[in-house]
Structure 1
Amino acid sequence: MTHDHDLVLRPTGAQTEAALNPPAGRNGGDLVVETLAGLGATTVFGLPGQHALGMFDALRRSSLSYVGLRVENNAGFAADAYGRLTGEVAPLLLSTGPGALMSLAALQESAAASAPVLAIGSQVPTAGLGGGRHGYLHELPDQQASFRDIVKSVHTARTQSQIPSAIAAAWESALTAPHGPVWVEIPQDVLLAGTTLPVVTAMDATPDDVVPRPELTAVAADLLSRAARPAIIAGGGVVRSDASGKLLALAEKLNAPVVTTFGGKGAFPWEHPLSLQSWLEDRHTTDFLESADVLLVVGSGLGELSSNYHTFAPRGRVIQIEADPGKLESNHPALGIHADARLALSALLETVSVREDATAADSVRTVLTKVGSRIAAQDLTLEQRVLASVREALPDASPSFWDMTILAYWAWSAFDARHPNTMHSAQGAGGLGYGFPAALGAAAADRTRPVLAVSGDGGAMYSIAELATAKQYELPVTWLIVDDGGYGILREYMKDTFGEATATELSRPDFVALSESFGVPAVRTTPESLTEDLAKALTEPGPSVVVLPAVLRMFAPTHL
């Protein structure tokens, strides 16, 4: 019997010759970038710092493309979007202490949204570790501890020979379903020291598939085939596993209505007769899902937003397919199936019976009509017009990245993403400042199509420095800034709760003039001219900014 690893152990003559005669002038940083390239990375994000300079020096001797942002948290958001869009690991190079810690909010979003980000941070020299010499710049007593509660796994390399294995293990962890961020830490002196180790060549860190147990899918298929009123909730796991086609086929075979969560936007065709769309913050949708006698939940943990703020109380049998075992039955009792969404849906598709139901599409229409009537009664014409203008201006295949702003909250429920993996937001962890730097990361992944970022004026100020990044790399990102003079959604929350808002009103710059000072063309628009101005900006090369002065209101959700 021949094993793959038996073949790896026998180098060719050329490999032996190269290994015995490595090029001069390399350091520990070269082992980092060589390992990344060997694992298949093509683009890295980051921001240099004193202890990490060995890695950044090595970049100029590598084939890797580097995108440098101005703030570490924004670099993390850019890597997050790159990982979401490509499904590949996004390397993020960081320095020690303050530089590393500045990435934590971005890594929290990646963890919540299952984005495969490989953060590689430096550390003080080895003499300062383990209770040794103290007083180094940027020193933390236990830097790893700051990351351990956020990332999937923590890896360290204390010698140069440990670097390739540590990075490969982290890479595999990041890509093991559910995807997520990981942390690798390497001391400054290890990165800077010259090395005579051979050049790192191709490496394999391919994770094993998370395959469903056949006895569980057999029970699930039987329940769904015999159901009188089946329904499906499709979450972000469907998008991440590229399972939208399988979902569509299964829904049609079962005649089961489908609602997509905010993280699963685009997982199911918006206008399909079985599509309940994404109106999760609506009691009509919640009531319908509660009435299902068999509810299939795919790639969602049914968290706060997906459960209408934990008011959702299913009365029927729940089947939950989830790649993260910690989320199985964490909020509702279910037949829990630990599996990749695509593999589990494939198994169900092969085993369920065709289920005839002439009333399913009518039931969907009834729910959507009730939702539409409820929204129409709230006098929200401006908000719906603005969202429709964005949809009209944005090419169908172009990705969009939304900050935590009122227009994004609308988009979660009401925006037709049209394609899977094209609409993303920071709704996983909910941090501000995601939209624009994430869009830059998406543009770095694919420069052939324009990318849209949407922010409020409050969120925009978190990442205004990245206009310099957008211009430096001429990334095709159009940034729509809805300027309402403050933290609009917090203003609404406070007025609703306390009758008056505090600390929500903001002084802000002239965004058009500020953008132009970076060399980025900008225009001030109106709701009437938004479609035209946004469409024009999206067709022009390089970055652009569109500023919409408008006070938008949120539709009233119904939990009860």
Structure 2
Amino acid sequence: MLQVRDAVSGGRAIVDALIANGVDTVFGLPGAQTYPFFDALALSTDRIRTYGARHEQASGYMAFGYARSTGRPGVFSVVPGPGVLNAGAALITALGCCAPVLLITGNVPSTFEGRGRGHLHEIPDQLGLLRRMTKWSARIERVEDAPALVNQAFREMLTGRPGPVALEMAWDTMAATAVAEPLAAATLPPPTEPEAAAIEAAARLLVAARRPMIMTGSGAQHAADEVRALAALLDAPVTALRGGRGIVSESEPLGLSSAVAHHLYPDTDVVLGIGTRLELPTMRWAGMMAYHDHLPGGRKLVRIDIDPEEMVRLKADAPIVADARGGARALIDAIRRLAADGPKRDGNAIRDEIRAAKAAVEAEIAKVQPEVDYLRAIRAALPDDGFFLTELCQAGFASYFAWDARQPRTYVSEGYQGTLGYGFPTALGVKVANPNRKVVAVCGDGGFMFGVQELATAVQEGIGVVVVVFDNGAYGNVRRDQRTRFEGRFIASELRNPDFLKLASAFGIEAHSVRSPTELSSVLPAALAAEQTVIVHVAVPPDSEASPWPFIHPAP
């Protein structure tokens, strides 16, 4: 005899489908249109932990941090209209960083949809807006459709190039009840297999190369073993700008900072890009204003990327459309087969060149003070598997080339969106996803104040991160540009800051103030051991920081 299913609300149907897909954490800020969803979460606390926030953008960035640091979906929920708009920065950051993030939101009652009557939180064509900020978005029209559409959201989010997705449900539909037949978790299609001819062509280019270089991005974070094997097989150094950091540690013989890679690039004849847009050679080293659809400089380019559109945006001499891991494994097999007939590289000589380049560049990087010494102090205190979050501040920019990320996913950056203020709330999501690992976020005084209210979230939810706030009393980059490029006409770049120690105390948070890397070194071990949020305020004299930009945008 068939069992009769109970009718459930739209919110309950969504929550049940999330649970079926293995979700055990949701971030969010409830409101009228999403009450049924949050009520279902309240009835499911044995299976899902819900973390509140003080701002919708923070909810989105916490989900982003969860996803970016693990590769698993980060889920959050905010109200429609202004809530969605507030969270928009997190969605487009996830899109830029290929992070699997799922937004659950509401909308006006179904009878008001598209009528422009000015219902609560109404914005014109919210679904159309979401579709432009995400990889895929849909509306759940009926309670019965929730399980299938949640599953589709997971397939869209995780198939091919990962990215953010969104589901909206009208206010009245989310509260309505119906029988929603539960489904098993979404099944994902297997990754695209690389074409044999493409692998052969790429392997021949790489075997014949005199000085190949590997560049990695976010799409290679799950393929660290394969990237290392390729590097060893080719005697090829490995570098990354942001998303691919930590796949090969810069403390390893074949690991390079982007600054060292630029030093060695003139002798590079073949570039192997794995899961990367190749921002270094096409923008950072070739000028940000000129668009290149081929690798500049006449070098050969081999690409492994899951997204076939990437091969149109930047054409390769040997394009391989495949998942990074599968493509790299096939390439390894082909190179091993062909290597016996190819030219022999002197691996020891190549490693000697790399060591010499590292020493030469290190001497130049050391002049970027005080940022580099502060970063070294943090690196010395943070375990190899600890997470480091950049921010749009001078220390964060310097970390692009002066931070040694030692394990995959441990360098969590803002990606090309460059969202000021993303760092602290993202760090909270990273810690939730990785409760047994240390998390340090570096923030400027300007960016930190974007999300300062989430200190309350950290205390209330028991999330322990170390926030190093560099206080130079300005949007430092803007102020430098106004001084050097606009004859010192300062406008809207100088900041009147609070007393950060008193501010921390008001939230019941431990705080310290330091004035040197040595003082930072003295407080970090205890701060990291505290397992609660700790603020370390770094007093930086105005205009005292050396510019990191010659190493990020070297002259073409």
TM-score strictly above 0.5: yes
Alignment partners' CA distance in 1, 2:450 and 2:58: 9
Alignment partners' CA distance in 1, 2:246 and 2:71: 16
Alignment partners' CA distance in 2, 1:444 and 1:207: 29
Please state how far the C-alpha of 1:327 moved relative to its aligned partner: 2.2
Query: Is 1:514 matched with 2:496?
Result: no
For residue 316 of structure 1, the aligned residue among 262, 287, 299 is: 299
Query: Is 1:272 matched with 2:252?
Result: yes
- Is the Cα contact below 8 Å between 1:286 and 1:308 reproduced in 2? no
Please state how far the C-alpha of 1:142 moved relative to its aligned partner: 0.6
Please state how far the C-alpha of 1:460 moved relative to its aligned partner: 0.4
The residue number in structure 2 matching 1:227 is 209
CA displacement, residues 18-43 of structure 1 (integer Å, 9 cap, x when unaligned): xx143x7x411000100000011110
- Is the Cα contact below 8 Å between 1:393 and 1:535 reproduced in 2? yes
The residue number in structure 2 matching 1:555 is 548
CA displacement, residues 436-486 of structure 1 (integer Å, 9 cap, x when unaligned): 111110111121122111100000000000001100111121111111111
Alignment partners' CA distance in 2, 1:540 and 1:368: 35
The residue number in structure 2 matching 1:256 is 236
Q: TM-score, normalised by structure 2?
A: 0.91
Please state how far the C-alpha of 1:212 moved relative to its aligned partner: 1.6
The residue number in structure 2 matching 1:399 is 387
Please state how far the C-alpha of 1:235 moved relative to its aligned partner: 1.8
For residue 141 of structure 2, the aligned residue among 147, 155, 158 is: 158
Alignment partners' CA distance in 2, 1:302 and 1:449: 30
Alignment partners' CA distance in 1, 2:324 and 2:316: 19
The 3-state SS of whatever aligns with 2:328 is helix
Alignment partners' CA distance in 1, 2:280 and 2:265: 16
**Which segment is superposed worse, 481-490 or 257-266?**
257-266
The residue number in structure 1 matching 2:533 is 543
CA displacement, residues 188-208 of structure 1 (integer Å, 9 cap, x when unaligned): 10111133444x353224243
Please state how far the C-alpha of 1:341 moved relative to its aligned partner: 0.9
Query: Is 1:533 matched with 2:513?
Result: no
The residue number in structure 2 matching 1:297 is 273
Alignment partners' CA distance in 2, 1:196 and 1:287: 63
For residue 117 of structure 1, the aligned residue among 101, 106, 120 is: 101
Query: Is 1:144 matched with 2:124?
Result: no
Alignment partners' CA distance in 2, 1:556 and 1:277: 14
> Given the superposition, is the C-alpha separation of residues 534 and 212 from structure 1 closer, same or farther in structure 2, using an over 3 Å criterion?
same
The residue number in structure 1 matching 2:354 is 364
Please state how far the C-alpha of 1:359 moved relative to its aligned partner: 2.2
The residue number in structure 1 matching 2:290 is none
- Is the Cα contact below 8 Å between 1:51 and 1:95 reproduced in 2? yes
Query: In structure 2, what residue type is equivalent to 1:387?
Result: L
The aligned runs of 1:324-339 (5 Å cut-off) are 324-331=307-314, 333-339=316-322
The 3-state SS of whatever aligns with 1:296 is strand
Q: Unaligned regions of 5+ residues in structure 2, if any?
A: 288-294
The 3-state SS of whatever aligns with 1:359 is helix
Q: Unaligned regions of 5+ residues in structure 1, if any?
A: 1-12
- Is the Cα contact below 8 Å between 2:391 and 2:447 reproduced in 1? yes
Q: TM-score, normalised by structure 1?
A: 0.91
Alignment root-mean-square deviation, CA: 1.9
The residue number in structure 2 matching 1:77 is 61
Please state how far the C-alpha of 1:329 moved relative to its aligned partner: 4.8
The 3-state SS of whatever aligns with 1:168 is helix
Query: In structure 2, what residue type is equivalent to 1:322?
Result: D
- Is the Cα contact below 8 Å between 2:463 and 2:532 reproduced in 1? yes
The residue number in structure 2 matching 1:213 is 195
Kindly, what percent of the aligned residue pairs are identical? 33
Query: Is 1:388 matched with 2:384?
Result: no
Give the number of equivalent residue pairs: 532
Alignment partners' CA distance in 2, 1:332 and 1:219: 15
The residue number in structure 1 matching 2:413 is 425
Please state how far the C-alpha of 1:393 moved relative to its aligned partner: 1.4
Query: Is 1:478 matched with 2:466?
Result: yes
The ranges of structure 1 where at least 4 consecutive aligned residues each deviate by more than 6 angstroms after the TM superposition are none
